[in-house]
Amino acid sequence: MLRLRSIAEIPSGLPTPVVLVPTMGSLHEGHRALIRRAREIAGEAGSVLVSIFVNPLQFDRPADLEAYPRAVESDLAICEQLGVDTVFFPEPTDFFAADHSIAVSEDLLSKPLCGATRPGHFEGVCTVVLKLFNVLTPTDALFGKKDYQQLAIIRRLVRDLALPVKIHGLETIRESDGLALSSRNLNLTAIQRADAPRLRRALLAARDLRINGEQRSEVYLETARLLLLQNAPEDLKIDYLQLVDRESLQLLANVTGNALLAAALYYDEVRLIDNIEI
């Protein structure tokens, strides 16, 4: 397995297809699923690349950046175990110049959901993803649907800038109790971790309203909100709970087509997100 610490070390002419799995490290089973799918797409003759980079540009709170879990050595061992061909894990000082002054912004899909409460987050995402695509030149890239808004924005980035990369979305990988796998789960206390599956239960209950033909968005939202707050611990706070169109991510008054119910919660300083397609 080739280990690259800087842009200057990146070789040219890797066997194609070149399939990239961008991560911020602290790899879990969700990342493993992405890597396995990448190998299926690349085949034995192609190349699987994994990037491990905690991108400072997409954190709106310094404390969140500082607390983000880092486990580079175990991440490298996982990549080796899964047959990854190349791992790119640069330092921020190598990847971004100290006086970098150009960023990539998206002005529609990034307005609701996480974008409404995390200013600059998706500008940071778009900037780092575009740079990863430029320096690693993948033919394909994989992203999980847990970050549904991120996936939609990256698809738009590729479309609007005519980037020669095919984007693949993978279903959310979950724990046995329904909690979406996330590196942030490691920062939960035992009590918070035991309570956290309420997020998935609330989304499922709201989704099931569609069975009876319910269309009013306020009914979906109120159903989910009640379950999120019922007997909730004092340190739980709803960051957002929104019902949007699955493609445009714009708010919906009524559910008549493909919709997405998405939510973000805080347990103290730990932020969890999840969503469900309706």
Q: Are strands 270-277 and 259-267 parallel, antiparallel or unpaired?
A: antiparallel
Q: How far is residue 1's CA from residue 23's CA, in Å, rounded to a whole number? A: 17
The answer to whether 113 and 46 have CB atoms below 8 angstroms apart is: no
| pLDDT tens-digit map of 25-56 | 999 999 999 999 999 999 999 999 999 999 99
Q: Is 211 exposed, middle or buried (0-12, 13-18, 19+ CB in 10 A)?
A: exposed
Exposure letters 251-273 (e unless 16+ CB within 10 A, then b): ebeebeeebbbbbbbebeebbbb
Q: Which DSSP string do the residues of 96-152 spell out, in sequence order?
A: S-TT-------SSTTSSTHHHHSTTHHHHHHHHHHHHHHHH--SEEEEEGGGHHHHH
CA dihedral 223, 113, 119, 129 (to 10 degrees): 140
Q: Measured between alpha carbons, how far is 20 from 24 in angstroms, rounded to an integer?
A: 13
Percent of the chain exceeding pLDDT 70 equals 100
Measured distance CA(147)–CA(155) in Å, rounded? 13
Residue 275 near residue 148 (C-beta atoms within 8 A): yes
| Cβ pair 86, 224 in contact under 8 A | no
Can 31 be counted among the known catalytic residues? yes
Whole-model pTM: value is 0.93
Q: What is the mean pLDDT of the chain?
A: 96
Per-residue model confidence (pLDDT) at position 244: 97
Encoded tokens for 218: 């306020």
Q: Is the pLDDT assigned to residue 60 strictly greater than 90?
A: no
pLDDT tier for residue 66 given thresholds of 50, 70 and 90: confident
pLDDT at 35: 98
User: pLDDT tier at 117 (50, 70, 90 boundaries)?
Assistant: confident
Q: Which of 28, 31, 100, 168 is catalytic?
A: 31
The domains found in the chain, sorted by start residue, are: 2-170 (3.40.50.620), 183-277 (3.30.1300.10)
- Amino acid letter at 196? A
CB atoms closer than 10 angstroms to residue 29: 11
Contacts of residue 80, Cβ cutoff 8 Å, sequence gap at least 6: 1
Question: Phi then psi for 194, rounded to 5 degrees?
Answer: -65, -30
pLDDT (mean) for 74-90:
97
CA distance 73 to 201: 35
Mean pLDDT of 225-239: 98
* Average pLDDT over every residue of 229-237: 97
